[in-house]
Structure 1
Amino acid sequence: MSRILVGACSWTDRALVGSGWYPPGRRDAEGRLRYYAERFGVVEVDSTYYGLPSERNSVLWSERTPDGFLFDVKAFSLLTGHPTRENALPAELRGRYGRGTPEGGLLDEVWGRFAAALGPLRQAGRLGTVLFQFPPWFAPGARTERFIGECAERTAGWPVAVEFRHPGWWREERRDGTAGLLAEWGMSAVAVDMAQTLDTSVPPVTPVTGEPAVIRFHGRNEAWGTGTKEERFRHQYTEDELAEWAPRILRMARRAEQVHVLFNNCCGDAAVRAAETMRRTLDRERDRNRE
């Protein structure tokens, strides 16, 4: 059986920090990360989507976590085709952005800085995967397939996971082609849990196309795609909802060397509590399988 790591999609989310989950004396930047890493084996870094990471932070993250702990790092928004504010770029690059479109060699520069910033994590063995979350309008087609190929070429040798927000990639008639495309490029397909009653709902398929296998739990709020972040992701997972996934996760673990299970229902301490419950649920499912 492979290694299954369970965690949350942030350890610095404002709602988590304000929830009281971190005890007194462990609420500074170093204390929070050390406390989190004592309880979980993986975390997603979502701040790197909003701004380029720094090598300094990668060094600090490595120093403050034990051997075996992993960071799944979200790709910067400009690299996945999302709208990106000019002030999200380093000051010396902003004049080259030009009406929201990268000009000249700006995109190459951003790719280079992103890769350099992750260098210390890779060298320390702390980089779990780089998550490319593509936007809802990133629909299946020749143009988007070429874009994925370009991303794969730029990240050759990295562990990369891909999450599609357009449901067309995983509808039944397209499913095998999508899995084959990602496997060809050595990229992991991200499985998702979300409300299944919307036109934009991504089916909860669990293909294993690369390493590590990744599942992201977004909650089952029907406000998905609208409202504030809290409104979109507010959900308290029940034990029954998590139990639905336990057999699927263990089946994925038989096909992958490592599985990352990450909770993105980031309201208060809901994500870390769901992660704790999922670990217990997986333990029970393993015990049941051994009987």
Structure 2
Amino acid sequence: MGERTPDHFTFNIKAFRLFTGHQTNRTKLPKDIQAALPASDKKNLYYKDTPGEILRELWRRYIEAIEPLRRSGKLGAVHFQFAPWVVNNDDGRAHVEHCADVLEGFTLAAEFRHTSWFSEKAREATLAMERARGFVNVVVDEPNTAANSVPAIWETTNPNLALIRLHGRNHETWNIKGAAAASERFNYDYNEEELGVLASQILEISKTVVRTHVVFKNNFEDRDSAMPARSCKFSEETQLRSREKAKANDHLLPFY
């Protein structure tokens, strides 16, 4: 990938779903790994139930796959979108720390999906952990309707990068049941007023870091075809507000 992209191009890579605590269908694993797994009548695998030697090999292969991007200078962050059941308890914190240990030397971003991480009581401790381990705190804009969502925490925890992820604000579909596709959760278009408010918040947070990445969720139906126009509109909005504040912001990059 690195050889086929411009020198300035940056990749943010999602961590493999098994590493983030999500259920993982055994058929998604390499054939030799499938064969090495203990026999089971369960189709899904979880990190906590996976033999240590299998986990070590999966991590080794993952690092081997992304290392060329890091060497080329095109790897932004490895994005850990932790499962909603990775909660803020001893086991949850230990797993987050474990991921940081395994990928020491990489820039990691943490996106939590359980409200316990950013409750009023836990917020400062979570941010402190992210700062101590070098995690980029992923600022998420999403519906706050249930335990599997977190508020937008406009704080940076790594001086090199801020990462903002815009999931949309469709409260009705966030936990939709019986959907034809998981992407139906993200059926939402930001209007100009919402983009304007976000632009101001993002410009403010960008003052504290070297680079800022803004990621639009675009996997619902034909949203991908509209996304370039929307991201251009957002970029124009940020540049306008940046000029109004007489501050250049060349390091703010919209992703989609």
TM range (shorter): 0.7 to 0.9
The SS at the match of 1:202 is coil
CA distance in 2, matches of 1:274, 1:254: 23
Once residues 272 and 266 of structure 1 are traced to their aligned partners in structure 2, the CA distance between those partners, rounded to angstroms, is 13
Kindly state the Cα deviation for residue 225 of structure 1 after the two structures are TM-superposed.
2.9
- The 2-side partners of 1:97 and 1:221 are apart by 40
CA apart distance, 1:253 = 1.0
| Amino acid aligned to 1:287 | R
Select the residue among 164, 167, 171 that pairs with 1:215: 164
Question: How far 1:274 sits from its partner (Å)?
Answer: 2.6
CA drift of 1:73 comes to 0.2
Q: Is the 8 A contact 2:114 2:147 kept in 1?
A: no
Shift >6 Å, 4+ stretches? none
Q: How many residues align?
A: 231
Change in Cα spacing, 1:235 to 1:106, as seen in structure 2 (3 Å) is: same
- Indicate the residue corresponding to 1:52 in structure 2: none
After TM superposition, the score normalised by the length of structure 1 is 0.75
Q: Deviations over 1:23-66 (max 9, x none)?
A: xxxxxxxxxxxxxxxxxxxxxxxxxxxxxxxxxxxxxx112211
| 2:213 aligned partner | 260
Deviation digits for residues 218-238 of structure 1, max 9, x if unmatched? 111221133322310111111
Identity %: 34
Distance 2:125 2:52 in 1: 34
Cα distance in structure 1, aligned partners of 2:37 and 2:164: 34
1:225 aligns with: 175
* Distance in 2 (alpha carbons) for counterparts of 1:169 and 1:75: 19
Task: Report SS of the residue matched to 2:18.
Answer: helix
Are 2:240 and 1:284 equivalent residues in the alignment?
Answer: yes
Structure 1 residue identity aligned to 2:131: A
Compared CA separation, residues 193 and 104, structure 1 to 2 (3 A): closer
For the pair 1:73 / 2:43, whether they are aligned, the reply is: no
Output the CA distance in 1 between the equivalents of 2:228 and 2:92: 34
Instruction: Rate the CA distance shift 1:104–1:158 in 2: closer, same or farther, 3 A.
Output: closer
Alignment correspondent of 1:190: 138
Q: How does 1:236-251 map to 2 (within 5 A)?
A: 236-251=189-204
- Secondary structure in 2 matching 1:196: coil
Could you tell me how far apart the structure 1 residues matched to 2:75 and 2:64 are?
A: 13
Structure 1 match to 2:33? 93
Identify if the C-alpha distance between structure 1 residues 270 and 194 changes in structure 2 by more than 3 Å, giving closer, same or farther: farther
Instruction: Determine which of 55, 60, 74 is the counterpart of 1:107.
Output: 55
Instruction: Note the C-alpha offset of 1:139.
Output: 1.2
Gaps of 5+ in 1: 1-60
Over aligned residues, Cα RMSD in angstroms? 1.6
How far is 1:198 from its partner?
4.4
- Structure with higher RCO (Cα < 8 A, 6+ apart): 1
